[in-house]
Structure 1
Amino acid sequence: MSAPPRFDRGHTDDLMSFLAASPSPYHAVANTAERLEKAGFRQVAETDAWDGSSGGKYVLRGGAVVAWYVPEGAAPHTPFRIIGAHTDSPNLRVKPLPDTGAHGWRQVAVEIYGGPLLNSWLDRDLGLAGRLTLRDGSTRLVNVDRPLLRVPQLAIHLDRAVSSDGLKLDKQRHLQPVWGLGDVRDGDLIAFLEETAGIGPGEVTGWDLMVHSVEPPAYLGRDKELLAGPRMDNLLSVHAGTAALTTVAGSGAGLPCIPVLAAFDHEENGSQSDTGADGPLLGGVLERSVFARGGSYEDKARAFAGTVCLSSDTGHAVHPNYAERHDPTHHPRVNGGPILKVNVNNRYATDGSGRAVWAAACEKADVPFQSFVSNNSMPCGTTIGPITAARHGIRTVDIGVAILSMHSARELCGVDDPWLLATSLAAFLEG
């Protein structure tokens, strides 16, 4: 196999823009939809009757999007090729009664979402973003992308043992960000967001809000061969999957399968929601696509039996300071190509036949890949892969990009790997 080109600078630059513009799952979905529209896809409403026409279509639901491309002449039993990813990342999210404070400090009450590296949110300039729901039931995205909040760390003079004994954070007491001085006023935060978003006073009756680091993504290192940025887990895969789907749809003719991108919400807390991988969204969309093309239950069963899903999520690159935490013979490196994730206890869905599918796609794309398996003494994480396989009876393979600082407010990957992932995903979607 010949060495692949170093990386597509345009792809990496575009990923950086996508990360910066997507501080919440709702923004990520909106930005994905914009890219799909530019590629000729059209949105279909779940409440409307669907037709069986060819072309690109997508469904939006909250922080999730499912997009698919039907080639000309596709039969009702044509199998799907699916890229699965997720739009959410661990962070701090605003509580129902957000206005709090003490001792002359005004603060915002937050709850821990998923499993973030809590220390990474300390002493960092934070913005606030998410979705506002209005009295009429409509929603509005909001993004205060400037230093608005901060979770101040306790000075070492008041915690002399922090460097020797380690930082110990109480999730309730120590992570409430400050955002001003003075007396606490109920309704202050939402009133501020209404004014920021140009919404009338008292119009916001619901919110899904979260904090984010306002430091933009950046190339890092002497030779700029690393990329630092927020929410790579897992917007890196959402971006790559969108690029792969739109590329394949652009070529269009002669596809033996129906390429699909399914980007779910709530992976970081178990996927059990109407927009999560353990919900009915993907299955419903695929079934309706079959039936809209005149198919029967038998056609749907045939299509699902021939379907393959790549569950694309970030994985662990070998850490130079903690190499003993990794399997001694599996050391994925950044810029070494995407990783195949394996766990015999089914924390990942990959098996030998799935490995063959992935190897064929990488060979077709002329992209190297690496294997990841956890150290036997360390618990293994999981993904939407096993959920997708079990819920839909679809053969599923877990893959991704190796990174450092996973679940930090700011993560680190190699600049080559996002483009190598997107290239291999496109080859997979082509069948």
Structure 2
Amino acid sequence: MEKQAALELIDFINESPTNFHAILNIKKELIAHGFTQLFSGESWQIERGKKYFVTKNHSSLYAFIPGTGDIAENGFKLICAHSDSPTFRIKPHAEIPVEGKYLKLNTEVYGGPIMYTWFDRPLSMAGRVLIKSDNPLKPIIQFINFKRPLLTIPHLAIHFNRAVNDQGNPLSKQKDMLPVLAMINEHFEKENFLLKLIAEEMQIPAENILDFDLTLYNFEKGCLTGLNEEFISCGKLDDLAMAHAGLKALIDSKECRKTKVLAIFDNEEVGSGTKQGAGSPILRTIIERIVFGMGGQTEDLYRAIHNSFMISADMAHALHPNYTEKHDPTNHPVMNGGPVIKINANQKYITDGDSAAVFQTICQLAGVPYQTFVNHSDMAGGSTLGNILLSQMEMRGVDIGNPMWAMHSVRETGGTMDHHYVIKAFTAFYNI
């Protein structure tokens, strides 16, 4: 049973090569479980006993279930995660012929990937395609996934770079990281080759395609590994593991007095400063529409926010067996030890004593272990969704995540039991 959740996560990630596909798959799952889609440009009619979701940019999603209690008195329970992962985005006019023999594509790095991990792997492309419509302001949007290995980023042989294994060997994003797509032969048409390839895959005329948002992904499917299959080896665990766990918990949770929200933002890896990111007012706007749609006034909105609690769910760093010195001596979570409460004295995370106590209690109710993470004091740490969201709403909240190795690698490692644990913890939170 514990491994089943991890296997479902691997399948979900395999079918979600981009942020667009992740949201599409979450949307399908919600609809299958009785959720109704709302649209930002239309009037909302919210009823108790029903379930809803709304998307933004096809790359973020916000699902909610109105509570049975008074909205102002009971407020909201929120789990927040993100849909994007570090990758390489294909630039416009991407085709670069090389010596009349090879065709490579021009790319731009998205986020902060561990670039070495992308070499010599079978890669594919997926994303969003914009197609002509009768309304110039609203092109038709379709999604594409080539679902076959198309590209590789070849490493330079050690014979040409004897220092390749030395520490500090730099990589050029513009030179070293360009993927090779094809050999060029006498029948090869270089003009608009990529556009024609997309059109052929989608079986539409190339002249109907206005633009596209395509990124690379590792074609190899994830798997369980370790002597007892105790590890999950898979790309995009950061942060699709938390998105998947939140989705499972929301669907499996019971009716309660508080209004439950699952918010999956986009663009966390590049600062969240987009219309679909946590830095925008989108979640605040949705909460306002829920409160007002359930008959509340402005005062009820303020009370609801005060009476709410948020879990900012992004992955955490597990103790690395080869680099134990990189970790705090007393707060270094281990794989399969349960979800991690993330703490930072300089407020990179939103956790404080109050919110940590709440999450500890949730884990105890769920019957799962929990751990704490604090950065080694000589090392700067990162931040995540929590603080960005609280710039919009002064809400109680905690930063947590599951422990993992190699965050931002094309192939990350997490704990099999940890995914089972965090789903139980999230479900217990929604059931309170």
TM-score if structure 2 supplies the norm length? Answer: 0.95
Q: Give distance in 1, aligned partners of 2:290 and 2:167.
A: 57
User: What is residue 127 of structure 2 aligned with on the other side?
Assistant: 130
User: What is residue 146 of structure 1 aligned with on the other side?
Assistant: 148
Deviations 1:325-345 (A, max 9, x none): 111111211100000000011
| Aligned residues of 2:130 and 2:142 also touching (Cα < 8 A) | yes
1:234 aligns with 2:239: yes
1:37 aligns with 2:31: yes
Deviations 1:105-124 (A, max 9, x none): 10111100000000011111
Q: CA deviation at 1:230?
A: 0.8
Rate the CA distance shift 1:157–1:166 in 2: closer, same or farther, 3 A: farther
Deviations 1:207-261 (A, max 9, x none): 111000011010111211111001000000000000011111xx32xx1211100
Identify which of 164, 167, 171 aligns with 2:169: 167
Q: CA deviation at 1:165?
A: 4.6
Q: Secondary structure at the match of 1:83?
A: strand
User: What is residue 136 of structure 2 aligned with on the other side?
Assistant: none
| Aligned residues of 1:386 and 1:396 also touching (Cα < 8 A) | no
Q: Give distance in 2, aligned partners of 1:163 and 1:45.
A: 52
| Aligned residues of 2:71 and 2:304 also touching (Cα < 8 A) | no
Q: CA deviation at 1:73?
A: 5.3
For the aligned residue pairs, the C-alpha RMSD in angstroms reads 1.3
Q: CA deviation at 1:8?
A: 2.2
1:59 aligns with 2:54: yes
Q: Which moved more, 1:190-199 or 1:277-286?
A: 190-199
Rate the CA distance shift 1:186–1:346 in 2: closer, same or farther, 3 A: farther
Q: Give distance in 2, aligned partners of 1:295 and 1:415.
A: 43
Q: Secondary structure at the match of 2:357?
A: helix
User: What is residue 95 of structure 2 aligned with on the other side?
Assistant: 99
Q: Give distance in 1, aligned partners of 2:122 and 2:176.
A: 16
Deviations 1:182-201 (A, max 9, x none): 26723211210121122222
1:193 aligns with 2:198: yes
| Aligned residues of 1:90 and 1:407 also touching (Cα < 8 A) | yes
Q: Secondary structure at the match of 1:163?
A: coil
Q: Secondary structure at the match of 1:148?
A: coil
Question: Which amino acid in the other structure matches residue 320 of structure 1?
Answer: P
Q: Give distance in 1, aligned partners of 2:339 and 2:192.
A: 46
Q: CA deviation at 1:86?
A: 0.2
Instruction: Give percent identity, aligned residues only.
Output: 35
User: What is residue 180 of structure 2 aligned with on the other side?
Assistant: 178
Q: Which moved more, 1:79-88 or 1:139-148?
A: 139-148
Deviations 1:373-416 (A, max 9, x none): 11011110110011112221111210010000100001001100
Q: Give distance in 2, aligned partners of 1:282 and 1:160.
A: 51
Question: Which amino acid in the other structure matches residue 214 of structure 1?
Answer: F
| Aligned residues of 2:72 and 2:307 also touching (Cα < 8 A) | no
| Aligned residues of 1:52 and 1:294 also touching (Cα < 8 A) | no
- Structure 2 residue runs of 5 or longer lacking an equivalent are 134-138
Map of 1:21-420 to 2, 5 A cutoff?
A: 21-54=15-48, 55-62=50-57, 63-72=59-68, 74-75=70-71, 78-103=74-99, 104-136=101-133, 137-182=139-184, 185-248=190-253, 251-252=254-255, 255-420=256-421
Q: Give distance in 1, aligned partners of 2:106 and 2:166.
A: 30
Q: Secondary structure at the match of 1:37?
A: helix
Q: CA deviation at 1:76?
A: 5.3
| Aligned residues of 1:77 and 1:290 also touching (Cα < 8 A) | no
Q: Which moved more, 1:401-410 or 1:66-75?
A: 66-75
Q: Give distance in 2, aligned partners of 1:221 and 1:135.
A: 49
Q: Give distance in 1, aligned partners of 2:421 and 2:189.
A: 50
Q: Give distance in 2, aligned partners of 1:376 and 1:184.
A: 56
Q: Secondary structure at the match of 2:7?
A: helix
| Aligned residues of 1:290 and 1:296 also touching (Cα < 8 A) | yes
Q: Give distance in 2, aligned partners of 1:99 and 1:184.
A: 11
| Aligned residues of 2:112 and 2:408 also touching (Cα < 8 A) | yes
Rate the CA distance shift 1:184–1:175 in 2: closer, same or farther, 3 A: farther
Q: CA deviation at 1:280?
A: 1.6
Question: Which amino acid in the other structure matches residue 377 of structure 2?
Answer: N
Identify which of 5, 9, 13 aligns with 1:15: 9
Q: Give distance in 2, aligned partners of 1:341 and 1:199.
A: 48
Q: Secondary structure at the match of 1:387?
A: helix
Q: Give distance in 1, aligned partners of 2:317 and 2:285.
A: 33
Q: Secondary structure at the match of 2:175?
A: coil
Question: Which amino acid in the other structure matches residue 162 of structure 1?
Answer: V
Q: Give distance in 1, aligned partners of 2:120 and 2:210.
A: 31
- Structure 1 residue runs of 5 or longer lacking an equivalent are 1-6
| Aligned residues of 2:80 and 2:310 also touching (Cα < 8 A) | yes
Q: Secondary structure at the match of 2:121?
A: coil
Deviations 1:138-158 (A, max 9, x none): 111100121101100000110
Rate the CA distance shift 1:165–1:83 in 2: closer, same or farther, 3 A: closer
Rate the CA distance shift 1:158–1:184 in 2: closer, same or farther, 3 A: farther
Q: Secondary structure at the match of 1:392?
A: coil
Q: CA deviation at 1:77?
A: 5.1
